[in-house]
Structure 1
Amino acid sequence: MSRSYIPRCRSAWSRSAFALSLAAAGIACTPALAHNDDSDGNKKGGPTVSISDGKVQGYTKNGVNVFLGIPYAAPPVGKLRWQPPQPVGKWKGTLDATQFANTCPQVTELGAFAGPTSTTEDCLYLNVFTSGNSSKKKGVIVWIHGGGNVDGESNDYDGTKLAQGGPDGKETVVVTLNYRMGLFGYLSHPALNSEGHLWGNYGIMDIQAVLRWVQRNIAAFGGDPNKVAVGGQSAGATDTGANVLSPLAANLFNRAIYESGPLPNLPAAATAQTNGQNFAAAAGCPTTSGKPAAACLRDLTAARILQLQGTPNANGPYITGPFVDGTVIPITPEKAWTTGKYNKMPTMGGRVRDEGNFGISITEYFSGPPQVPMTADQFTAAVTRTYSGNAGPGGAPPAYPAGTATAVLNQYPLSAYGNDPVKAYNRVTTDAQKCQADHVLNLWAPQISTYGYDFTYSDAPYYFPKMPGFKPNAAHTIDIQFLFNNWHGGQLGVNLDQTTGMPRDLNQTESKLSDQLVAAWTNFAATGNPNGSGNSPWPKYAGGNASYLVQDIPLSTNGRSSYRATYKCDFWDTVLLYPLQ
């Protein structure tokens, strides 16, 4: 499936508010209506579906009907930048839904993870994958791509296998989407916040617009609007949690999937506003412009915003991501999970065994060429920087008390890891996340049906180049390819064997694990139980010594006490913070 970064304006929308907003922003529209011939690249006679805004024509591949680049909100350009998503105008004729639409603005591509960069704000589009049987009322998975809420795109996620259900699961309607990220998606500034609209968490509002679209339209694709699972990996898991927290998403979905989640905490509103005001000052709004701050911010070019947002391998100082604004996200995760004030639903989630290796691979990738692995001094400096008792940004209190860095270094001496700083740092950065997940799952278990997992398979292909002194093992993001066919990061990612460094696909035994995970995800969408029914092979996380599903070859289970010992959770319980306010 090809990428398309050409603006997706449709001439049939010229009478809508959608088109007026484009015209105000100086964007020219060209027709993108489907024709029943092959001259424009469409597949003759492709499947056509009528939805609330008009007809869409997709194509069929491997028995799955695919509809790409369907607009779910007006382009957030001009005066619609930093506004809640606005409705799409209806179109006449049939919309060409055979190509992916634009990727949302981004700059920090993290080497092979995402990309290419984009400065196109016309990006609020979704994609649908569904089997040809539209008479069934199938479960639905709405999947939110990862990328730290600063990068990534739906283009990399082929939902074919999930739509088919694999050999052991259930046919499912899969929806993927693009949403605003970085400074475009998460910005708090008094001038914007006082305009009388919902503010701050624009990316989360985009996802909620998709969920409302699903409620209106998914039945036309064979989906059941009463069986909607929202899930995502990494930032997608964070955004899933944000919608579970949000009263504005109540009754829009009723299952939640956290892949490299669940959600332990979010920044405070004060942090977001400080970051937003600092960004505005750096951009000269309104210090040097002479315009009101809101108008000045909306007049900035996308390129200028991205210049202040970050670099190809790092975020700048103004990034917040989803935060507790008081309305879209009313309270902190910890307060919600402990008081029960959230949208309750069956939930499944977990993390990979070597989460930290993702960040380590990015650091080494940008260390060269030639690339060099982390040194002992760099290991000590990284731990000290993270867990120091220094004051936070803007005079905020320290995140950790004095002496925490020393305690972490004592808990993870290099000698325990063969004097290999890479292995030691992977454990420091991974174990903290594994224990956060255990903390949240343990809070959920008495309130909702909860299923926890630990992905430990350590030999899957990885899309970064083979680098000295580094082996990915079960790195963050490596499990995505087991659900989405041949997922390989961005356009520079090539899945390589961890030992030979040569390109390869999943082998036969790995494909079996993929079948098992696809069955679990699609069963969960249909029933709220990854087994479909019963408590095997994935036991419910409940009571006494709860169990995790170990996602490895073969599948197995592991008790919570063993999990906690493996990841040193007794230690991390003394370090990790879960703010109630």
Structure 2
Amino acid sequence: MRRRFVTAVVVGMCAATFLASPAAADADGPVVETANGPVVGVVDGGIEVFRGIPYAAAPVGDLRYEAPQPVGNWTQPRDATEFGPACMQTPDDLENDPSTEVSEDCLTVNVWTPKADEGSRPVFVWIHGGGFSWGTAAHALYEGRNLAERGDMVVVSLQYRLGSFGWLDLSEAGGSASSANNGLLDMTAALKWVQENAAAFGGDPDNVTVAGESAGAIALGSLLTTEAAPELFDRAILQSGSPGLVMTEDVAGGLAEEFLSKAGASSVDDLRAMTAEELLSAQLSFEQDSEFADVGFHPVIDGVVLDQGSTVAIRDGLKSTVPVLIGTTRDESRYWLLYYDYLDRLPLSYARPWLDSISGGRSEEINDAFLVDRPDLNSGQLMMATATSSAFTMPAIRFSEALSSTGSPVWMYQFTLPSNQLDGRMGSPHAMELPFMFGNLGAEPALLDPSDNVAEYEQLAADMQDAWIAFARTGDPSTEALGTWPQYEQTARKTMMFDLDRGVVSDPFSIERTVWEDVPFDGVTPPLLESNPLTAADTEVTIPVVLAVIGPVWTTVIIVGALALIAGVVTLVLWLVRRRRRRREAQVPPMTQGD
């Protein structure tokens, strides 16, 4: 599974037309009458599975860059035995299975249920990650059968438009005012589908939990502050995502203008006249040669779908009534060792200019503070620890603080079990909790070899699944095995630690909170960097301020530091990815035309 914030060149695309009309279905499979028509699934290990069900019309032709529209009805049973195609992205982004079909006609959901009856089971909805530019609900990690069986609940996964297809602000180019957040509107449409159809699959529409990881968690943090949230879901689980990381309209507009230029277009109509491959090629050009490339695609404060970032919205008085479970892995940033295995061996001098620029020359103090808690870190690992803290841990803490200060129920966790791959150098990286949470221990061999410690891994998976299931059922993740899991509040800051040993600890992030005390992690788009930690070891990092800060009034020094902090983390990863992509371009085969 790739975790990158940019996409690469198109190396082929498969046409996907199966959603155009209902296909022949297996008459022996389970049949469910949805609001749009009957679907026929399969039985897998006693669980009824329905895949590739459309929740919105195909966003093609005049519907490209528009909000999702209702899907048409059908009367004949529709085959729901296979996953639908992934949303538009390059096959390089699907390297676990490059043969995966990709298509604009991708707005589908998948359902796992113990029995499509009148069971009124809890409903668990999953939003996949992928930097808003790649990913698919069909990934083996997200197979919902084990979770549905263990929890006796209905599990749903959804797909949403990615990259420029779902997150491009075309309001100044003849597009709709909400075009910058079409991906977010896709998620909303899928959740409305769940409300309309949960009962038909044996689920309770009044007991819906939505969970997301990485970009899925960022999007879910934004959805929490919309007016529709209380009507769409009852609880939220945010895993390894900076809640509310959003763009301002000015930056989104500049990004769109640059994209139009790269595409040789001047209006949304010009973009609609292009093929999907041409649009992805324009996106590649944008990513290779644009000052906005490091910003990437994110939800946008457009005044239509989103009014402000989620953390700031709560601080400014919005009271969320949705219980939230939130957490991170201990070494999120070390995930990228899978692709750049030298990162943990970089000398500290590579990061010092960046750290000094964001902390007023406090890089030595920051390093010393982290080493108090983790004296075993070498210089490269220390740099990655600060990246994890600033981009993942602290935004989660600030979001939790904002929620708890309003009286909203929130629980926090940290996953610390180290990966047994790469000789343990990854620690507990980004996505490490997913095989355990879904009970699919063998689904991501790059992160975990489950044969290494079968019994203890299976017990950790069982305990973690049971906590997620308990939260989905009751709004409280406490279980018999884990004991009482106290809510997070700003005095004791109780946090559940998931490892081979589980237990609640008080304030495990005290070092991070002290180091970043004066930096407001309010979830704003990073500014543009003219240099980065890998190219500026001996030079000063320059940071033009291109954004207005969202939220409370902070001093100028703190504002610049906060923006630079987030920018440095993102830029480090993006620069490495672009360099790797350029090395691979020589191997790119010709493109194929999709329908």
Residue of structure 1 in register with 2:271 after alignment: 297
**Does 1:307 pair with 2:281?**
yes
**Does 1:564 pair with 2:549?**
no
**Does 1:94 pair with 2:41?**
no
The one-character-per-residue Cα deviations of 1:377-431 (angstroms, maximum 9, x if unpaired) are 4x5435645x575xxxxxxxxxx475466765565689x8667333212211122
Q: Provide the TM-score with structure 1 as the length reference.
A: 0.79
Q: 1:418 to 1:478 in 2, by over 3 A?
A: closer
Q: 1:505 to 1:321 in 2, by over 3 A?
A: farther
d(CA) in 1 for partners of 2:441, 2:90: 21
Higher helix residue share: 2
d(CA) in 2 for partners of 1:342, 1:301: 44
> What code does the residue aligned with 1:295 have?
D
Question: Helix, strand or coil for the counterpart of 1:69?
Answer: strand
Question: Helix, strand or coil for the counterpart of 1:351?
Answer: strand
**Does 1:60 pair with 2:37?**
no
Worse-matched range after superposition: 350-359 or 329-338: 329-338
Residue of structure 1 in register with 2:389 after alignment: 431
> What code does the residue aligned with 2:380 have?
V
Residue of structure 2 in register with 1:449 after alignment: 409
The 8 Å contact of residues 105 and 118 in structure 1, kept in 2 or not, is answered as no
Instruction: Specify which of 140, 158, 174 is matched with residue 143 of structure 2.
Output: 158
**Does 1:34 pair with 2:19?**
no
Q: Give the Å deviation of 1:188.
A: 0.8
Q: 1:218 to 1:252 in 2, by over 3 A?
A: same
> What code does the residue aligned with 1:453 have?
Y
Q: Give the Å deviation of 1:32.
A: 1.4
The 8 Å contact of residues 352 and 363 in structure 2, kept in 1 or not, is answered as yes
d(CA) in 1 for partners of 2:229, 2:47: 29
d(CA) in 2 for partners of 1:223, 1:182: 32
Residue of structure 2 in register with 1:17 after alignment: none
The one-character-per-residue Cα deviations of 1:442-461 (angstroms, maximum 9, x if unpaired) are 221132111111111124x5
d(CA) in 2 for partners of 1:527, 1:7: 40
Instruction: Specify which of 437, 440, 456 is matched with residue 399 of structure 2.
Output: 440
**Does 1:358 pair with 2:358?**
no
Question: Helix, strand or coil for the counterpart of 2:122?
Answer: strand
Q: Provide the TM-score with structure 2 as the length reference.
A: 0.77
Q: Give the Å deviation of 1:559.
A: 0.4
d(CA) in 2 for partners of 1:324, 1:140: 29
Instruction: Specify which of 310, 317, 323 is matched with residue 333 of structure 1.
Output: 310
Worse-matched range after superposition: 84-93 or 353-362: 353-362
Q: 1:204 to 1:115 in 2, by over 3 A?
A: farther
d(CA) in 2 for partners of 1:383, 1:79: 50
5 Å matches for 1:109-508? 120-132=103-115, 134-156=117-139, 157-164=142-149, 166=150, 170-192=151-173, 194-196=174-176, 198-261=178-241, 263=243, 265-286=245-266, 293-310=267-284, 316-317=293-294, 319-341=296-318, 343-364=320-341, 372-377=342-347, 379-382=348-351, 384-385=353-354, 387=355, 389=357, 400=358, 403=361, 408=366, 420-432=378-390, 433-446=392-405, 447-459=407-419, 466=422, 471-486=425-440, 494-495=445-446, 504=451, 507-508=454-455
Q: Give the Å deviation of 1:232.
A: 0.6
d(CA) in 2 for partners of 1:218, 1:241: 23
> What code does the residue aligned with 1:456 have?
T
d(CA) in 1 for partners of 2:162, 2:243: 18
Q: Give the Å deviation of 1:308.
A: 3.4
Q: 1:571 to 1:253 in 2, by over 3 A?
A: same
Query: Any gaps of 5 or more consecutive residues in structure 1?
Result: 13-30, 37-44, 287-292, 365-371, 390-399
Q: Give the Å deviation of 1:435.
A: 2.4
The 8 Å contact of residues 71 and 126 in structure 1, kept in 2 or not, is answered as yes
> What code does the residue aligned with 2:159 have?
N
The one-character-per-residue Cα deviations of 1:509-539 (angstroms, maximum 9, x if unpaired) are 1111111111111111121111279993322
